[in-house]
Structure 1
Amino acid sequence: MPSEPRQNHLLIIEDDKGRREFNLDAPVYSIGRDPRCDIRLVSQFVSRRHATLVQLPKEDGSYYYRIVDGNLRGQASANGLLINGRKLQTHDLQDADEVVFGPQVRAIYYLLKREAVQTVPPDEFDITLISPGMVGDPEDLGDDEID
């Protein structure tokens, strides 16, 4: 029976507060300076609602995240998003993407894949058979048997 790969979506934030990690699994995340944001960024250069992460389905049943500048109503942030060195309004996140929200404020996205491992319980009747000829009494091997 084939096993499905399991994915973990990880967002590492670095801002004025330090470094924090977020495991992503919710359908939507708000990102910004506002205390009500799901992922709060600590910096005066970040908008209150700077960006939004949206979970979207893939054909294989897994999902990916799209980052959108501003909120879902179309209101963009003041400074925008710099993703992998390019200013973009929206981007489908790929493993190791870097998102810069402002000076000294960035996020790195990681998509961690691992194969689910199926474990089989050990057979309680697993017996290793040894031929009696393979086992000998060490005392039977005297000097007289060595020619």
Structure 2
Amino acid sequence: MPPQQHHNHLLILEDDKGRKEITLDSPVYSIGRDQNCTIKLSSQFVSRQHATLVRRDRADGSYYYRIVDGDIKGKPSANGLLINGRKLPAHDLQDEDEIVFGPQVRAIYYVLKREVIPTGPPDEFDITLISPGMIGDPEEWNY
């Protein structure tokens, strides 16, 4: 069987309280100062409901995240989003994209790729035979 690509999505956040790593796997995240946000940011320059992350599926079964300025209902944040130095209302995130929410509040999005080689059930005939001469010191084995 050919190896399959599996991705882990990671957001590294830096704000007034320091740095934190968040593994992304939920369908939707709210980002902001509000205590009800799933990803809380600590800064007076960040809106209560600053941005929303939405998981989007691809045809091959993998997914990616789209960041949208504002809350889930479409109300934009006060200061907007800078993504890779450009002010954008929304963006399909790619590996190492930088998101700036305000002064000294930023995040880097990472897609960590790993190959997984699927294995099937063990073959009932897949056995290893040991010769009686192989027991003991390996240097004395008779092949």
Q: TM-score, normalised by structure 1?
A: 0.82
Runs of at least 4 residues of structure 1 off by over 6 A? none
1:139 alignment counterpart: none
Which letter maps to 2:21? E
Q: Which residue of 2 aligns with 1:60?
A: 60
> How far does residue 64 in structure 1 lie from its aligned partner after superposition?
0.5
RMSD: 2.2
Tell whether 2:128 aligns with 1:125: yes
- Distance across 1 between alignment mates of 2:118 and 2:62: 19
Aligned to 1:29: 29
- Equivalent-residue separation in structure 2 for 1:59 and 1:88 (angstroms): 26
Residue correspondence of structure 1 range 6-21 to structure 2 within 5 A: 6-21=6-21
Alignment of 1:66-85 (within 5 A): 66-85=66-85
In the TM superposition, residue 119 of structure 1 has moved relative to its aligned partner by: 6.1
What is the aligned partner in structure 1 of residue 91 from structure 2?
A: 91
Deviates more, 1:73-82 or 1:2-11: 2-11
Between 78-87 and 109-118, the greater mean CA deviation after superposition = 109-118
What is the Cα deviation at residue 4 of structure 1? 1.9
1:3 deviates by 3.2
Q: For residues 128 and 81 of structure 1, what CA distance do their matches in structure 2 show?
A: 68
Match of 1:142 in 2: none
**Within 5 A, what are the aligned runs for 1:29-48?**
29-48=29-48
Larger Rg computed on CA atoms: 1
Using the size of structure 2 for normalisation, the TM-score is 0.84
CA–CA distance in 2 between the matches of 1:128 and 1:99?
62
Matched-pair contact (CA < 8 Å) for 2:4–2:117: no
Uncovered stretches (5+) of structure 2, i.e. residues with no partner: 134-138
Counterpart in 2 of 1:104? Answer: 104
The total of aligned residue pairs comes to 131
Q: What percent of counterpart residues are identical?
A: 67
Amino acid at match of 1:87: K
Distance apart, 1:5 and its partner CA? 1.1
